[in-house]
C-alpha cells in the first residue's frame, strides 16, 4: 500500500470573521460553536437526514447532506464556508471529502480510509518504515488462524478495524481464544476484523494540532501527552499528564509527528494511542481525527494550557497555535471510578473523595446514583504541585472503592 508524498497544505484562513461547516456534530463537536464564536466565526451544521441537531445548538444554519457531495459542497460554497471540520467520528469521511471539494484546509483524501482503519494504518506505517504492530485484516476466520500459526506470536489482540468502535478488543493466546473472540466481535460474514500482535508496553494518549507553517507545509504540534494506566480489561484507570521535557516525551513526539505525516494528517486536531516498547520504541495503536473534549475543560486548560477544541478554533480563525503556559506545569492526573459490581454511589464516601485536597474537578457525580460493573462511573481531576500529594489522594480514592463507594463492602 503505497502512500503519496506529503503535499503542501492549503494556507490557513486568517479572516477576522468567517463561517465553518461542522460535519455530523455531536457532543465534543458542538463545542466548536462557542469556541469559533469567540473569534467572530459562525458555524453551520452538516448532518445526515436521520441525525439532526437540536434547534438550540447555536448553529447559524443546518444543512442536510442527502448523498450528493456536489450539491452539499455547492450549498456550502454559496454560504461562504471557509473551513470544514469533523464534528464527530461519523463526520470524518464527509469532512475530508468536502474540504477537498471546496479546496479548503483538510486532511489528505487519498489516505482517509487508511486513517479510519487500524489494519490499514499499521500496514501503511510498516510499509513506510515506521514501527507499528504486525497484523492481518480479514473477514475470514481461517485466514486469521493461518496468520496466527505462521507468526507464532505468543499474545495477540483481536479488534474491530474502526478505532472509534465501542466494542472492546480481546486478548488471545490460543487458536481457541481467537475463535471465541471472533464470533463475539464479528457482526456479519463480510465484516473484517484485525488480528494483531499484542505490544506489552506502556500506553500514551497523544493530542496534536496540525496546520500550515509559513511556507504552507503541514506542521504538527504536540499539545499534550498522557501516560495511561489500564486495567486487565484495557479500561483507562488513571492518566497522568507527561512532562514534555524528557527523552521519552521527545521520542513519543517525534514518532507521532512522523506517523501523522505518513497518514496524511494535514489540518486540525488528532489524538493517537501509542505504546512504547523498550527494545522497539514507540508504535501507533490507533489514530483518530474527530474532535476530543475532556471533562472539566476550563480547569484542564488552566492547568495544561491546552484545549483541543479551542486550540483548533484559534488555529482556524487566526492561523496561530496556542502558546504554552509560562509557568511550569503542575502535576495533573485523571482518575476513573471503576465499580467491580453493580451498585450505587455511597453519598458519604463520595463526599470524602470529592473533598480531597488535590481534587480540582469531577464529572457529574451524585450520591445514590446507580453504577454498573465494568463501566466507568465517573472521573476525578487531580492537580497539585507535588506528585506525592496526588498519589496519596489516589490511594484514598481506591481505598474508598474497597470500603463501599459503590455499595456495601464485600
Q: pLDDT 10s per residue in the chain (410 long)?
A: 333 334 444 444 444 579 999 999 988 899 999 999 999 999 999 998 876 655 556 899 999 999 999 999 999 999 999 999 999 999 999 999 999 999 999 999 999 999 999 999 999 999 999 999 999 999 999 999 999 999 999 999 999 999 988 877 899 999 999 999 999 999 888 999 999 999 988 999 999 999 988 888 899 999 999 999 998 878 899 999 998 888 999 999 999 999 999 999 999 999 999 999 988 899 999 999 998 888 888 888 888 888 999 999 999 988 888 776 545 558 999 999 999 999 999 999 999 999 999 999 999 999 999 999 989 999 999 999 999 999 999 999 999 999 999 986 44
Q: At which residue does the C-alpha cell 494528517 appear?
A: 265
Is 96 in a helix, a strand, or coil? helix
Specify the pLDDT at position 10. 47
Specify the pLDDT at position 104. 94
Is 147 in a helix, a strand, or coil? helix
**Residue 181 vs residues 5, 163, 185, 190: alpha-carbon distances, Å:** 38, 17, 6, 16
Nearest to 319 by CA among 205, 221, 207: 221
Among the residues of 263-378, which ranges form H helices?
297-304, 308-318, 347-354
Specify the pLDDT at position 54. 54
How far is 36 from 43, CA to CA, in rounded Å?
A: 7
Specify the pLDDT at position 138. 97
Tell how strand 236-241 and strand 218-230 pair up.
Answer: antiparallel
Specify the pLDDT at position 9. 45
What region does 155 belong to: left with phi over 0, alpha with psi -120 to 50, or beta?
beta
Specify the pLDDT at position 304. 83
Amino acid at each position: 500500500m503505497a502512500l503519496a508524498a506529503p503535499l503542501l497544505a492549503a494556507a490557513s484562513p486568517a479572516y477576522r470573521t468567517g463561517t465553518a461547516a461542522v460535519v455530523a456534530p455531536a457532543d465534543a463537536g458542538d463545542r466548536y460553536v462557542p469556541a469559533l464564536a469567540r473569534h467572530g466565526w459562525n458555524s453551520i451544521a452538516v448532518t445526515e437526514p436521520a441525525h439532526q441537531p437540536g434547534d438550540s445548538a447555536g448553529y447559524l444554519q443546518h444543512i442536510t447532506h442527502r448523498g450528493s457531495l456536489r450539491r452539499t459542497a455547492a450549498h456550502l460554497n454559496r454560504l461562504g464556508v471557509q473551513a470544514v471540520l469533523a464534528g464527530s467520528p461519523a463526520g470524518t469521511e464527509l469532512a475530508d471529502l468536502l474540504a477537498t471539494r471546496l479546496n479548503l484546509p483538510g486532511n489528505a483524501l487519498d489516505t482517509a480510509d487508511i486513517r479510519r482503519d487500524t489494519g490499514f494504518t499499521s500496514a501503511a506505517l510498516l510499509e513506510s518504515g515506521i514501527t507499528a504492530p504486525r497484523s492481518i485484516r480479514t473477514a475470514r476466520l481461517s485466514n486469521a488462524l493461518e496468520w496466527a500459526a505462521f507468526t507464532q506470536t505468543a499474545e495477540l489482540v483481536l479488534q474491530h478495524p474502526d478505532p472509534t468502535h465501542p466494542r472492546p478488543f480481546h486478548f488471545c493466546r490460543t487458536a481457541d481464544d481467537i475463535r471465541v473472540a471472533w464470533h463475539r466481535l464479528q457482526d456479519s460474514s463480510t465484516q473484517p476484523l484485525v488480528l494483531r500482535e499484542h505490544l506489552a508496553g506502556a500506553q500514551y494518549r497523544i493530542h496534536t494540532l496540525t496546520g500550515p507553517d509559513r511556507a504552507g507545509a503541514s506542521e504538527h504540534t504536540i499539545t499534550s501527552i498522557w501516560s495511561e494506566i489500564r486495567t486487565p480489561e484495557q479500561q483507562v484507570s488513571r492518566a497522568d499528564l507527561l512532562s514534555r521535557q524528557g527523552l521519552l516525551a521527545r521520542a513519543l513526539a517525534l514518532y507521532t509527528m512522523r506517523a501523522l505525516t505518513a497518514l496524511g494528517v494535514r489540518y486540525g486536531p488528532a489524538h493517537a494511542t501509542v505504546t512504547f516498547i523498550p527494545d522497539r520504541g514507540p508504535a501507533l495503536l490507533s489514530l483518530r481525527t474527530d474532535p476530543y473534549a475532556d471533562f472539566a475543560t476550563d480547569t484542564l486548560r488552566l492547568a495544561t494550557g491546552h484545549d483541543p477544541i479551542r486550540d483548533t478554533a484559534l488555529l482556524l480563525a487566526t492561523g496561530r497555535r496556542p502558546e504554552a503556559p509560562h509557568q511550569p506545569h503542575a502535576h495533573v492526573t485523571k482518575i476513573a471510578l471503576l465499580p467491580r459490581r453493580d451498585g450505587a454511589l455511597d453519598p458519604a464516601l463520595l463526599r470524602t473523595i470529592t473533598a480531597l485536597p488535590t481534587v480540582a474537578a469531577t464529572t457529574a457525580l451524585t450520591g445514590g446514583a446507580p453504577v454498573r460493573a465494568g463501566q466507568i462511573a465517573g472521573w476525578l481531576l487531580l492537580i497539585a504541585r507535588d506528585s506525592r500529594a496526588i498519589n496519596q489522594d489516589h490511594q484514598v480514592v481506591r481505598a474508598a472503592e474497597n470500603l463501599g463507594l459503590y455499595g456495601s463492602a464485600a
